[in-house]
Amino acid sequence: MTLSLLVATPQLAGSLFERSVLLMLDQADGALGLVINQPAGFSLSDLLPGRSPPDRGAAGRGLSAYSGGPVERSSGWCLYAAPEGTAGKSAGHDQSTEHELAPGLWLSRDREVLDHLMGGDAPFYLLLGYAGWASGQLEREAREGAWLWGEIEAAHLETLLWHTPDEGKWQAALALLGTPPQNVVGGARA
């Protein structure tokens, strides 16, 4: 299974999207994506007082909130891993609020799913907000040189999400798209 990544070029330096890597989601009109490499600057414990996820060791996924994008920053998206053959919640949960993006990779906006993830040991991100574009807008920005867009295999995305430090995700995403970072230049600004 392949998934789409959107990677900011140097043309976006100084913007909210500088060195951003986005996981793109299907949308009928326009485009929607989640930034996966920008910690929001506060922990989940700060966001949800009295709730603290268990120590996750060096990986640290699930300890910090992330900025998923500039739209609806008060809404949260849980992006998480689940063991093969299971969803992110315990048996009996209404899984209609969970969406499988690829085998073992799930997305939900359900607070119960977040509560479950915080009590478990599966890696996850809480992404606040999202990035959205009107129909044709993202394609125009890509033609102008602001973005690189490509598909990657689900296994490579898992490595990027769960095993690559945030500060290395931009370079790793470019490499997965077949573009060495030193070869990336921004197009002319509109």
Residue 169 lies in a domain: yes
Angstrom distances, CA of residue 24 to CA of 34, 54, 60: 6, 29, 23
Residue 189 lies in a domain: no
Residue 188 lies in a domain: no
Residue 6 lies in a domain: yes
Amino acid in position 117: L
Residue 87 lies in a domain: yes
pTM, 2 dp: 0.85
- The 10 Å CB-count burial string (b at 16+, else e) for 135-166 is eeebeebbeebbbbbbebeeebbbebbbebee
Residue 190 lies in a domain: no
Write out the residue range of the structural domain in which residue 63 sits.
2-183
pLDDT in tens, 65-88: 999 999 999 899 999 998 544 554
Closest CA to 139 of 29, 16, 17, 10: 29
23: domain CATH number is 3.40.1740.10
Give residue 30's Cα distance to chain centre: 18
Strands (DSSP E) along 45-178, which ranges?
64-67, 71-81, 98-102, 105-108, 124-133, 147-153
Identify whether the C-beta of residue 35 lies closer than 8 Å to the C-beta of residue 8. Answer: no
Residue 117 lies in a domain: yes
Q: Which position has the token pair 């609806």?
A: 72
Residue 41 lies in a domain: yes
What letter does residue 47 receive in the DSSP assignment?
H
Question: Which residues lie below 8 Å from residue 174, measured CB to CB, with a gap of 6+?
Answer: 7, 148, 180, 181, 184
pLDDT in tens, 84-140: 445 544 434 456 788 899 988 999 999 888 888 888 888 899 999 999 999 999 999
Q: How many domains does the chain have?
A: 1
